[in-house]
Amino acid sequence: MRRVKVTRSSDYNDVRHERSIEMAEEKAKRFIDSSSNVDSGAYSANYGAHRVGISMQESVDYYSKWAQDGKYEQDLSLERYNGPIIAANYLADHYPDNRSSTKILDVAAGTGYVGEQLHTRGFKSVDALEPASGMLEQARKKNVYTDLYCEFLNSKRLPIKDDTYDCCVISGGMGEGHIPCDGLHELIRITKPGGLVCIVMREEYLSYVGEYKDRLEPLMQELEDAGKWEQLSRDVVPKYSFDNNGVVYKFKIC
């Protein structure tokens, strides 16, 4: 009798995940090969911060070094990285009034791009959370933040009281070796009931970043089913970074 090979669903998912990673690497290579030296160098630098297998600590060290001498902002200028503008516009639409008194936490604040964009739109009570000290020091110099926290967002309790913020926003903080799914619980804890959590990230990370693939959106739904928050919108937006689409989530805390 001919033996039939049985493929487990977990094996099939592993193959799909590996193929997704290969496709992402191929896409990066195509972009780098077809771009100017400046753009390809910038893309390569960003890809290095999200390389497969990078740990959170390695990511922090990478970003701190990248921030030196303005290299990060040179590589990820707002012409190449539109996430901060997208995030700020979404918050401005959500808060048409009383922006100066709306208390916001900019999570994974980096060098302060989102803080700057919020400041120009009238948001004056903004704090920064960023684990890379080199990035946070650059953000401090911009004088758009009230308090700055050099902390990871993960399952560990932050040194922030419950129900502190009207809004928590993330732009660019999701990726390989970046904010884990467990960080959503802390976002909910520190945001006031009725407050907003806005997450802006590269759409394709949902397909090939192991931490998020088949985990992030199911957890978002679990938290909604548990009455922790309510999803207000999920929008795919073009040109989030370079030629990559982004996805923007808005959640109202219950």
User: Can you give the residue ranges of every domain in the chain?
Assistant: 1-254
Closest to 46 measured CA to CA, from 84, 72, 20? 72
The two structure tokens encoding residue 195:
């407050």
pLDDT at 119 over 50: yes
> Which residue has 């904010």 as its token pair?
179
pLDDT at 22 over 70: no
In this predicted model, what pLDDT tens digit does every residue of 82-111 receive, in sequence order?
A: 999 999 999 999 999 999 999 999 999 999
CB 159 within 8 A of CB 179: no
pLDDT at 137 over 50: yes
CA–CA distance, 31 with 254 (Å, rounded to integer): 42
Cβ within 8 Å of residue 92, ≥6 positions away: 99, 121, 122
CATH of 1-254, one of 3.40.50.150, 3.60.70.12, 3.40.640.10, 2.40.50.140: 3.40.50.150
List, in sequence order, the alpha helices (H) in the chain.
Answer: 9-34, 37-49, 56-67, 71-75, 83-94, 113-120, 133-140, 183-190, 205-208, 216-225
In this predicted model, what pLDDT tens digit does every residue of 211-239 receive, in sequence order?
A: 999 999 999 999 999 999 999 999 999 99
Mean pLDDT of the 9-38 span: 51
pLDDT at 147 over 60: yes
State the pLDDT confidence band at 123, using cuts at 50, 70 and 90.
very high
Using CB atoms within 10 A of its CB, is residue 49 exposed (0-12), middle (13-18) or buried (19+)? buried
State the pLDDT confidence band at 14, using cuts at 50, 70 and 90.
low
State the pLDDT confidence band at 112, using cuts at 50, 70 and 90.
very high
State the pLDDT confidence band at 40, using cuts at 50, 70 and 90.
confident
Q: What is the pLDDT of residue 3?
A: 41
Q: What is the pLDDT of residue 42?
A: 85
CA–CA distance, 105 with 93 (Å, rounded to integer): 17
pLDDT at 185 over 70: yes
